[in-house]
Structure 1
Amino acid sequence: MMRPKVYLFGDSITEESFSDGGWGAALANHFARTADVVLRGYSGYNTRWAIKVLDKVFPPELNVGGGRAPLAVTVFFGANDACLPDRYGAFQHVPIDEYKQNLFSIVSYLKKRWPSTHVILITPPPIDEAARLLHPYNENPSNLPERTNEAAGNYAKACVAVAEECGVPFIDLWTRMQQFLDWAKAYLRDGLHLTQNGNKIVFEEIIGKLDEVGLSLETLPAHLPYFNAIDPKNPLKAFEE
């Protein structure tokens, strides 16, 4: 039997999630014997670009031969959509109403394709504007941050609204991280991307949401027998079933 899969779909915060201490790597380790965690992160992407590549990210071949629907898909966009339209990241900006519609389209695409799959929306994280000025990714003649925490918060609220309307789980990362006084330095390494502690929060939140929908190490069968289930007097018997 093929292992079930969990897909991680998003921007650079997802693409980096398999780095040392990343939340995606932690998920892969957590489900090491029960599910394959598949990375589909695209640095710099916004929801406008994401809906253009859905068939490339989730190609029709995934359904060939009665392939199993993924257990879950995390959808983690908004940090780039929320770039301000009058700053150097303007080419990534997506108006908030379009952002909401794009998220609706992504959720609809996934649920139509795989009705049993759990789609989890994740809001953009908060923004440390001072740190963004120290870590620009392009020339910044205005000397103003390309993102603000207020704008990120508006997109986070929009993401939550879409999740609630679609009836799918969500993680309000923008709110969750700011519950801690030192969030800017403790959880963000450059005002946007996550530190190891920030990655830990995302991992814990996703594990919690998966558990809420019945996906946990206790409910998912292990792939092939565990070592301690193999009879040392007749080891091959474990592989006959």
Structure 2
Amino acid sequence: MAVTFADRPQFVLFGDSITQRSFDISGWGASLANRYCRKADVVLRGYSGYNTLWATFLLDRLFPVESSKPPLLVTVFFGANDAGFPDRGKEAQHVPLPEYKDNLRKIVAHLKKANVKHIVLISPPPVDEEALLVHGRALFGEEAGELPVREHQRTGLYAEAAESVARETGVLSLNLWSILQKTTDWQKFLNDGLHLSHEGNQEVFRNLVDILDDPSLKPSLQWQSFPWDYPEFDEIDYQNPAKSLQPDLKN
């Protein structure tokens, strides 16, 4: 049975630049929107350079508690900026690990209060330190430091923290730092040492879909469980289209 546009569920992608860029060609957000096209609205709320502290100030505006139609799903994808070194040019964005966990708890608590049914905490991906240095030197030349502004193992601590908060709060999680490293040449998943390449975007998409396709989730997030927005073209009564497309009106 088809639904009307107003009935479509909403998926909101909330995060930093890795989310902001997710609607690029072959991006994980664009792929998700394509998968659920005409079934759910995938809404991009990515903010390049943001950390979890700044994200907490956006919650009331982006996810109002009094909303009559809260999102069915929200992905929360922060940590890459929080994990930056404050003494290597990332002082403004860095968030200490304990505060990072507290901020994630605040975000989850607010989303639950706003009646979001499903929340996925996505951890920052691994860091290719060599590629990050090369990219920094290409951008800033001699002004680039000799050490990367982010480090692989340090980011791993933030990934573990995100997964820990997910377990603690009873929400879903996707530990990209661990998952991407299951492939020996995981560096191919990054295009500048930090952001996702084509392969990385598709790997995130595939792993996220695995979570959404879990048959135990209630309400279901499986693609096949969502009705089409309005009937398919071959189901329309062409002799009386109003009957199919405006069923609530008298014909």
TM over 0.5: yes
Structure 1: runs of 5+ lacking an equivalent:
none
Amino acid corresponding to residue 207 of structure 2 in structure 1 = E
Q: Mapping of 1:99-138 within 5 angstroms?
A: 99-114=100-115, 116-136=116-136
| Corresponding position: 1:237 with 2:238 | no
Q: Residue 135 of structure 1: SS of its match in structure 2?
A: helix
Which of 153, 160, 165 is the aligned partner of 1:162? Answer: 165
8 Å CA contact retained: 2:105, 2:169? yes
Q: Residue 140 of structure 1: CA displacement?
A: 4.8
Which of 53, 59, 68 is the aligned partner of 1:54? Answer: 59
Which of 221, 230, 247 is the aligned partner of 1:215? Answer: 221
Structure 2: runs of 5+ lacking an equivalent:
none
8 Å CA contact retained: 2:10, 2:41? yes
Match of 1:152 in 2: 155
Distance in 2 of aligned mates of 1:58 and 1:155:
24
Q: Residue 194 of structure 2: SS of its match in structure 1?
A: coil
Distance in 2 of aligned mates of 1:165 and 1:59:
24
Match of 2:44 in 1: 39
47-56 or 101-110: which moved more?
47-56
Distance in 2 of aligned mates of 1:158 and 1:236:
54
Distance in 1 of aligned mates of 2:70 and 2:9:
8
Q: Residue 239 of structure 1: CA displacement?
A: 2.2
Which of 215, 218, 228 is the aligned partner of 2:234? Answer: 228
Distance in 1 of aligned mates of 2:160 and 2:28:
23
8 Å CA contact retained: 1:88, 1:140? no
Cα deviation, 1:11-53, whole Å, max 9, x if unaligned, reads: 0000000111111111111111111111000000000111122
Q: Residue 86 of structure 1: CA displacement?
A: 2.1
Match of 2:206 in 1: 204
Q: Runs of at least 4 residues of structure 1 off by over 6 A?
A: none
Q: Residue 218 of structure 1: SS of its match in structure 2?
A: helix
Match of 1:12 in 2: 17
8 Å CA contact retained: 1:15, 1:41? yes
Match of 2:85 in 1: 84
Distance in 2 of aligned mates of 1:102 and 1:128:
26
Alpha-carbon RMSD: 1.7
TM-score by length of 2: 0.88
Residue-pair matches, total: 235
Cα deviation, 1:61-113, whole Å, max 9, x if unaligned, reads: x71xxx32211000000000000222122321110000000000000000011
Distance in 2 of aligned mates of 1:29 and 1:152:
30
Q: Residue 86 of structure 2: SS of its match in structure 1?
A: coil
8 Å CA contact retained: 1:78, 1:124? yes
